[in-house]
């Protein structure tokens, strides 16, 4: 399935059972709750173990299939706890043994890139809205295997920043 010049990380992931970690934002909860529900049920139907990394203080249990493990990030929702929260998240991800990260919102892109680097995993990034010139959105050229946009206008806007 792998071609010449392929990404070694992506090729290794193809040979294992897929264990995705979905990284969501508060906006994902509001705008894409139905999508999250269908996605989690579909993963459960295929007997795929999945994890959802989700902001605290949001009720996702009504939206997500019970077979999807939910992890709150940040775990300690206090200022100056970023380093500790990232450490907790990475430890949790290592225990889950994911094969791919799928960031569902560009607002969590930095977290996806960080986790991907720490775990040496490929990640997929969704960009669901137009970016402002002041916003900074960077991708790892080695680990980001796909950028998904729902509209041509969003793709054009994203490409205008390169």
Give the predicted TM-score (pTM) of the model: 0.84
What's the rounded Cα separation, in Å, for the pair 156 and 137?
A: 14
CATH of the domain at 117: 3.40.50.2000
Per-residue confidence (pLDDT) for residue 135, from 0 to 100: 62
The verdict on residue 30 lying in a domain is: yes
The verdict on residue 2 lying in a domain is: no
Q: Is 135 exposed, middle or buried (0-12, 13-18, 19+ CB in 10 A)?
A: exposed
The verdict on residue 117 lying in a domain is: yes
The verdict on residue 1 lying in a domain is: no
Among candidates 99, 107, 92, which has minimal Cα distance to 143?
A: 99
Give the pLDDT of the chain (162 residues) as one tens digit per residue. 444 455 665 555 455 699 999 999 998 888 889 999 999 999 999 999 999 999 988 888 778 999 999 999 999 989 999 999 999 999 999 999 999 999 999 999 999 999 999 999 999 999 988 766 556 788 898 999 999 998 898 888 887 766
Largest CA-CA distance found in the chain, in angstroms, rounded:
47
Domain range for 29 is 8-159
What's the rounded Cα separation, in Å, for the pair 15 and 13?
A: 5
| E strands present in the chain | 20-23, 51-54, 69-72, 100-103, 123-126, 144-148
Per-residue confidence (pLDDT) for residue 31, from 0 to 100: 87
What's the rounded Cα separation, in Å, for the pair 92 and 96?
A: 6
- Secondary structure letter of residue 109 according to DSSP: H
Cβ–Cβ under 8 Å, residues 124 and 150: no
First vs last C-alpha separation in the chain: 30
For the chain, the domain total comes to: 1
Per-residue confidence (pLDDT) for residue 2, from 0 to 100: 43
The verdict on residue 3 lying in a domain is: no
Among candidates 126, 74, 80, which has minimal Cα distance to 101?
A: 126
């Amino acid at each position: 399935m792998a071609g010449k010049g392929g990404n070694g990380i992506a090729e290794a992931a193809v040979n294992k059972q897929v264990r995705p970690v979905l990284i969501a934002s508060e906006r994902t909860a509001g705008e894409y709750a139905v999508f999250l529900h269908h996605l989690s049920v579909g993963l459960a139907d295929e007997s795929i173990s999945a994890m959802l990394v989700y902001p605290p203080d949001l009720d996702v249990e009504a939206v997500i299939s019970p077979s999807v493990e939910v992890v709150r990030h940040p775990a300690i929702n206090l200022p100056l706890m970023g380093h500790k929260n990232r450490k907790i998240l990475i430890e949790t991800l290592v225990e889950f043994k994911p094969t791919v990260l799928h960031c569902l919102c560009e607002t969590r892109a930095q977290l996806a890139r960080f986790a991907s680097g720490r775990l040496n995993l490929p990640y997929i990034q969704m960009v669901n809205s137009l970016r402002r010139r002041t916003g900074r959105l960077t991708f790892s050229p080695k680990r980001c295997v796909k950028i998904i946009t729902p509209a041509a206008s969003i793709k054009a806007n994203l490409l205008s920043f390169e």
